[in-house]
Amino acid sequence: MHELKFYFKKIHHQLESGLNQALRKYGLTSTQYDVLAYLSRHADRSCTLTDIAAFFGVRHTSIIHVLRLLEQKGFIRRDTSGGTRSKPVMLTDCAASLIADISHKGILVNARMFRGIPDEEIQLLEKILKQITANLESDDFKSDNLKKENFYESEKQRNRQNN
């Protein structure tokens, strides 16, 4: 069970590294691309700094830095009305066409990553990952309610069930 987190870490590192290398020719990092892709997927509504930070589960300051870089590169623009956190962030036309081009290549990455895995198992994996994400975002996980004893006790129970 403990090895699973290492697989998550290794997968994240390999994806991040590969994406950064592929995106370098566009002058983007994977983090910058992720923000652009988020804005593209939510183009039908007004997205703010707060929305973006909440989606990625990071602090506002992390997103502010990314947005500044994207704005300097001409990929986004921010509405001048309202406060910093409530200003709508919008893709420029340049970014929209770039996202379309890169998204097509992302399909190839997914095909390689999931090669040999049946669709039903990919759907099951997605369901499991959504549950893991929800568990990690829960107040129980974030709070001090996670006592060592509770953790070790539930770990023992899981091991008994698996054996």
**Res. 1: pLDDT tops 90:** no
Provide mean pLDDT across the span 76-105.
80
Nearest alpha-carbon partner for 88 in 46, 42, 54, 126: 46
Q: Is the pLDDT of residue 163 over 90?
A: no
